[in-house]
Amino acid sequence: MSTSTYQKKFQLIILPVLLTGLAFILGYSFLRWLLDIRLRVLPLKHDVITTVLPILLAVTLVLLFRPRFKTIQFKDKSSLWLMFVAALMCLIPTLLFQQYLENISYQEIQVKFPGQINSKQYNRNYNVGTYVPDLSHVGVYHMTYTSGGRYESTLNFSTYITFPLYDKPSDTAGTPQVWYCLQYMTSTSNESSDSINEMAFRKHKALAPAFLQREFSQMGHTFEREPTSEYADYYLRAIKKKYPDLHGTPILLKPATTHSSSSESLMWISLSFGIGAAIFIWIVLAKPFDEKALNQYLSGKPFSQDMLGQILHFLNPKGEYPGSAIMININLAIYLIMILMGVPISSAPASTLLDYGAMYYPYVMDGQYWRIFTAIFIHSNGLHILYNMMALGIAGVMLEKLIGPKKFILFYLITGVIAAVVSMFWDKSSIQMGASGAIFGLFGVIAGMLLRKAIPKDTRAPYWVILIAFVGLSLLLGLVMPNVGNAAHISGLIAGVLLGLLPYKALQTK
């Protein structure tokens, strides 16, 4: 490889990416320090600021360099690995920088009593000289949630425990403003029967008092303040069980955690960026230019679409599949809003899902009928929405051009609502959500059109293969895996078949 080729790679790819990556790491961290730590004007939860936003912005930043990355020649004609390395090079140092900012910004403050915390500038680390814990006013909030991927094979029990910290014994008659917070967690297999899971939950609750006594005996004088977070919300629910009329936001203290020193944090930040940059540079220099792609980029001509480009094109509401794009984008936008509001990506607790519109029989019967509609756009975790949106995309490719975008959206809504209603009455004790009932409805429409031969003969065979594979596999998994709503799937499928049997003509036969 000639010297001029190396120079061109440095000018076109390496230097712009490295400089932009550094600017992103330092720029985001400075804005976070200014707006969140210094001015405290960001209305976002701690995990969103320190983790979710950096991930979203790093991915967006790397996508902007995608045309330049396509000038490098890879065997699979894809630049995804280069994009992945570039994203990690920007992301990991940014995540580490957020902890460094907290280390240098929140030095430990000495206070004589818990009541003095509010008189000091906001901080995260406190050494409290004297305090009076009040175990006669313990607030407890129990929560269950599932994890373990798409089929949620693990059932987790989490108990949030709070009790007041007073300045002196005579203060215990007043309304407490400072609370000590603990979290007790256990888990079990979610593949057991409901009765076994209920026994495991009762055992969890029975062991919580022993956990509290053990942690209470180990209390010291160094505490860490719980920031605005999902955990803070659960602690507040525990507090309000004891003090339902509590006004204002109480101070939540938890056991202090050990963090790396500032010098160690800087070392890891520098090391992570250096390793990422070295790998990125090595890949760029080791791979030759794709001369055709390079000339195409330099001339300003658009590239032919690879798989990622095809996905982005598919999600364009002005593209070939506007109905599919609109419904997928709505589902993704709602999930993104949930994530930005602090909902965990791994698995959202049931109480949180209810806050965002999940369906629950007692709530619906109490007049909250809108949940039947909103539930078909709510998803419990990242894998849940990923699987459903992939299936919705497949249904869109197969169906939308046959019936048009308006009918596609209408059938999604009709079958989704029908599936939600049937599933709600079938299982009145579960919190339910997800687009799978509507997706099965769309596949049911395809089945109905196949049955009345509205789809051309030469395309029926592959349609039947895809239909039987998807529906059969999904229903089979629903029989053997927990937390899969086969009632919604089957009712949505039947509703779709009935819609597909209606005597309308296919718009496109190819």
pLDDT in tens, 234-261: 999 999 988 888 877 899 999 988 777 7
pLDDT for 196 equals 86
pLDDT for 483 equals 56
pLDDT for 508 equals 54
The model's confidence at residue 478, banded by pLDDT at 50, 70 and 90, is: low
How far apart CA 255 and CA 225 sit, in angstroms, is 9
Q: What is the mean pLDDT of residues 13-21?
A: 95
The model's confidence at residue 457, banded by pLDDT at 50, 70 and 90, is: confident
Question: Which tokens is 436 given?
Answer: 């799978």
Q: Tell which wins on pLDDT, 381 or 77.
A: 381
How far apart CA 399 and CA 397 sit, in angstroms, is 6
Short-list 315, 335, 325, CA closest to 377: 335
At 160, which helix (H) or strand (E)? Answer: strand 154-166
Question: DSSP code of 301?
Answer: P
Query: 3-state SS of 26-45?
Result: HHHHHHHHHHHHHCCCCCCC
Cα distances from 115 to residues 138, 167, 290, in angstroms, run 19, 6, 67
In sequence order, the β-bridge partners of residue 188 are 155
The model's confidence at residue 509, banded by pLDDT at 50, 70 and 90, is: very low
In sequence order, the β-bridge partners of residue 125 are 224
Given a contact cutoff of 8 angstroms between Cβ atoms, the answer to whether 272 and 93 are in contact is yes
Which residues, at least 6 apart from 426, have a Cβ–Cβ distance to it below 8 Å? Answer: 487
How far apart CA 11 and CA 348 sit, in angstroms, is 45
pLDDT for 479 equals 58
Contacts 24+ apart (CB under 8 A), 199-207: 200/155, 200/157, 201/142, 201/144, 201/157, 204/157, 204/159, 205/142, 205/157, 205/159
- pLDDT tens readout for residues 376-400: 999 988 888 888 999 999 999 889 8
pLDDT for 304 equals 66
How far apart CA 298 and CA 423 sit, in angstroms, is 56
How far apart CA 47 and CA 37 sit, in angstroms, is 14
How far apart CA 347 and CA 345 sit, in angstroms, is 6
Exposure pattern of 347-383 as b/e (b: 16+ CB <10 Å)? bbbbbbbbebbbbbbeebeeeeeebbebbbbbbbbbb
- pLDDT tens readout for residues 283-331: 999 888 888 888 888 887 776 666 677 787 888 888 889 999 999 999 9
The model's confidence at residue 484, banded by pLDDT at 50, 70 and 90, is: low
Given a contact cutoff of 8 angstroms between Cβ atoms, the answer to whether 157 and 124 are in contact is no
The yes-or-no verdict on residue 342 having pLDDT over 90 is no
How far apart CA 481 and CA 153 sit, in angstroms, is 8
The yes-or-no verdict on residue 158 having pLDDT over 80 is yes
Cα distances from 312 to residues 40, 63, 317, 403, in angstroms, run 36, 11, 10, 23
